[in-house]
Amino acid sequence: MTASLSEKEILERCNARKANTLMQTLDIEFVAVDGESLTAKMPVNSSVLQPDGVLHGGATAALIETVGSVAVFVFKDTSNLMVRGIELNANHLKGVRSGNVYATAKALHLGRTTQLWEIKVVDDQGQLVSVGKLTTLTLEKPLQ
């Protein structure tokens, strides 16, 4: 985990990255971090619903990729690295019409250049909504 920072400081840094991004559009907020996981919440409202009134799988997939990608910055030294999601898989198990969903990312593999994340999405009652796997790639930032 990011050395010498408190949970509050880590969450503040994660949330500070939202401006002018899809995270802002979807109102994704990082709400918890511990030694092995990062959790974000997303409100289920009209901006993320399918026409029949349930949470859109694409919005859920965006939440999954977001929390997995940001988790790389929390659990690896990325000071000179850029992070990209290179493969995403999501299985949607339950429809949600309102409230919030919470995505928690845990690393299955933290390699030098690739990382594999398992992300579970639950509703306000803690019921499993979706399960995702995200592969991320870390590369050196280009010289500017």
Residue type, 101: V
Q: Which tokens hold the place of 97?
A: 């019409």
Q: Which long-range contacts (CB under 8 A, 24 or more apart) does 56-59 make?
A: 57/90, 57/92, 57/130, 59/26
Q: List the catalytic residue out of 7, 12, 29, 65.
A: 65
Contact in structure between 12 and 2 (CB atoms under 8 Å): no
For residues 124 and 107, give the distance between their C-alpha atoms in angstroms, rounded to a whole number.
23
Q: Does the annotation mark 87 as catalytic?
A: no
Q: Could you give phi then psi for residue 8, rounded to 5 degrees? A: -60, -45
B/e letters for 39-73, b = 16+ CB within 10 Å, e = fewer, are: bbbbebeeebbeeeebbeeebbbbbbbbbbbbbbb
Residues involved in catalysis? 65
